[in-house]
Amino acid sequence: MKLMSVNESILGLKAARNIYSSDGTLLLAAGFEVKEAYLKRLNEMGIYSVYIDDGVREVEVEDVVSERTRLEALKMTRETMTRMGAGAKSGIDEISKVMDDLMDELMANPAMMLNLVDIRSMNDYTFGHCVGVAVLALMTAINLGYNQFDLKKLGMGALFHDIGKIKIPDKILYKPGALSPLEWEEMKRHASIGFELLRERGDFNIVSAHVAFQHHEKLDGTGYPRAIRGQEIHEYARVVALADVYDAVTTDRPYRPRKLPHQAVLIIRDGIRTQFDPDIVPAFISNIAIYPVGTILVLNTGEKARVIEVNKRYPASPVVRVITAPGGAPVEEGRMVDLAKQPATRVVGLDGQ
């Protein structure tokens, strides 16, 4: 399975994973050949990457949550946020049940690491982003030892951290280029708007609402909307801030391609102490497959190798299988190498990068 850009190069190839819109509509089923009509539809929906079947059966990759649960979370987030944005006062029991399902699956598999990019439509970016952030925030909190009660409060805050964006004009929210100063000020209002939307409700925990309010604050006081710093920022918001940035930079956008996991991790590490809490960053990064399963790496030996397994304890040192010799000749039965146990063998790059 290989992540490829949506362009004519994938015509005639088969999809490796189902692709859905945020309302649950199946856009392209796994195993189906990509034809011109599908390619056109994916482009119209603002989907820039898809997983393609590359014939390699050795690396079957699982998501950290089931397709059913992720899809249900996406649908219910879309429906609940749309209702709340329209002023509806209906309860949040259904989305609360989805949050319980997310928590149950993640707690049942604490050793799982994030290997897959979530394929989402740019037309519905906010809803997919909210689900992605909730999953990452919950995984981090599990590593930090949160109990189930605190996980639920954090998870609900993460799932609705960007609800204020439903009040931001689409021409700003989906602008393909840089925002003007006035547009940027309007965009920044989403944090305060989201807090007010959630605070008005009697069925939403006020601590969870503060995640929407504070997730763009920074440790050094340069964030918004209140420029608070350090421990003034609630821990839930400090967790969600990490998940928010990581999910955003690893997702394709109209104005830039996604960054690779190892690049996103470098951004996180560069922000330690100024933007991100140094006590939370290790718990977050330990969830990330820096070199996801299936990635082709270039080793310092001159060989190329495919990632077969990721080690949660040493995420930058996966188990790989050599696929080419130093001169570039293919190797049919390449040896397995556990880079965590072979410190002399190092990753020096990614194939094609």
Give 18-51 pLDDT, tens digit per residue: 888 767 788 888 888 898 988 888 888 888 888 8
* Rounded Cα gap, residues 274 and 190, in angstroms: 22
Pick from 262, 239, 253: nearest CA to 128: 253
pLDDT value for 53:
85
Phi-psi region of 52 (alpha: psi -120 to 50; beta: other; left: phi over 0): beta
What number is the average pLDDT over the span 141-152?
Answer: 96
- pLDDT, one tens digit per residue, over 168-223 is 998 999 888 889 999 999 999 999 999 999 998 888 899 999 999 999 999 999 99
In 28-63, which positions are buried (b, 16+ CB within 10 angstroms) versus exposed (e)? beeeeebeeebbeebeebbbbbbbbbeeeeebebeb
Domain ranges of the chain: 2-52, 67-285, 296-350
Beta pairing, strands 26-28 & 347-350: unpaired
Per the CATH hierarchy, to which homologous superfamily does domain 67-285 belong? Hypothetical protein af1432 (1.10.3210.10)
- What pTM was computed for the model? 0.90
| DSSP-based three-state secondary structure for 1 | coil
* Rounded Cα gap, residues 283 and 107, in angstroms: 15
pLDDT value for 61:
76
Pick from 283, 40, 10, 244: nearest CA to 141: 283
* Rounded Cα gap, residues 264 and 259, in angstroms: 6
Asked whether residue 277 carries a pLDDT value surpassing 80, the answer given is yes
pLDDT value for 216:
98
pLDDT value for 274:
95
- pLDDT, one tens digit per residue, over 82-93 is 888 888 776 788
Task: Please name the residue ranges forming H helices in the chain.
Answer: 36-44, 67-85, 93-108, 125-143, 148-159, 170-173, 181-188, 190-199, 206-214, 235-249, 261-270, 281-285
CATH of domain 2-52: 3.90.105.10
Three-state secondary structure along 166-195? Answer: HHCCHHHHCCCCCCCHHHHHHHHCHHHHHH
Rg (CA), the chain: 21
Residue 312 — pLDDT band, cuts 50, 70, 90? confident
* Rounded Cα gap, residues 230 and 247, in angstroms: 23
Amino acid at site 126: T
The upper half-sphere exposure of residue 318, i.e. CA atoms within 13 Å in the direction of its Cβ, equals 27
Asked whether residue 69 carries a pLDDT value surpassing 70, the answer given is yes
